[in-house]
Amino acid sequence: MLPFESLEKELKKARSGDQNAREKLLEDLRQFVLQTASHLCRRRLEWGRDDELSIAYLAVNEAIDRYREERQVPFLAYARLLVKSRLTDYLRREARAPLLLDSEETAAALDASRAREEHWAREAALEREEEIKEFNSLLNSYGISFADLVKCSPKHADTRRVLLSVAGYLSARRDLMSSLVRTKKLPVRELAELTGVNPKTLERGRKYIIAVALIWHHCADFLYLCSYLRPGAGEEEKK
């Protein structure tokens, strides 16, 4: 999946009418389309074989034009909602729709402007809630609670930037993430040697680093949290 900075840049170009940017963005999101559609259809899909992938691909292309930042929903989360809707419509017509959606009102809701906006808000809220539950469960497996994160979150912008940088480095290193997942412990010594950050700083920020690294490493599963905690997010407001 594209880093959020690259995604936002390509999305802006595509929405301004840059066809090359649109094609590049769609090509970069092919894996996202495959994973999203396969998950929603509850089976492995293949390009060139399953019509569901074509439907999902067109839905992402549609999402580029329909996306609105004021909804305060990350683009990929919005695209996923639209893929969900279009696949449900398609499978319902084919009389083989799995339980992708919980309500029969969905198709009608998406066709009426006011109802559509209310629908997006409800769906996004449900996704955020489910995402937080899943992340809480993941954190618990590392012996971390949300209360711990509130207590250990860095108060100073400089410290936050350092810890975010370390978390980004950790999430990008397959060997270090494998160590973290296997032992459920932060590889402090290796990170100190590789990043130059004092081991005491790493130990104090251990829970925060682990939490952020897990979000970024599993970004496809935590789109809302990943967008909120992307590198540099919120730093402008603090200056």
Report the predicted TM-score, pTM, of the whole model to 2 decimal places. 0.72
pLDDT at 220: 83
Task: Summarize pLDDT for 177-206 with one digit per residue, the tens.
Answer: 999 999 999 999 999 999 999 999 999 999
Dihedral Cα 201, 206, 211, 216, nearest 10 deg: 50
Task: Summarize pLDDT for 21-52 with one digit per residue, the tens.
Answer: 999 999 999 999 999 999 888 899 999 999 99
Task: Summarize pLDDT for 87-138 with one digit per residue, the tens.
Answer: 988 888 876 555 454 444 454 545 555 666 677 778 888 889 999 999 999 9
Query: Average pLDDT, whole number, for the chain?
Result: 86
Q: Name the nearest CA neighbour of 167 among 143, 126, 122, 201.
A: 201
Sequence ranges of the domains in the chain: 4-127, 146-238
Q: d(Cα 140, Cα 119) in Å, to the nearest integer? A: 32
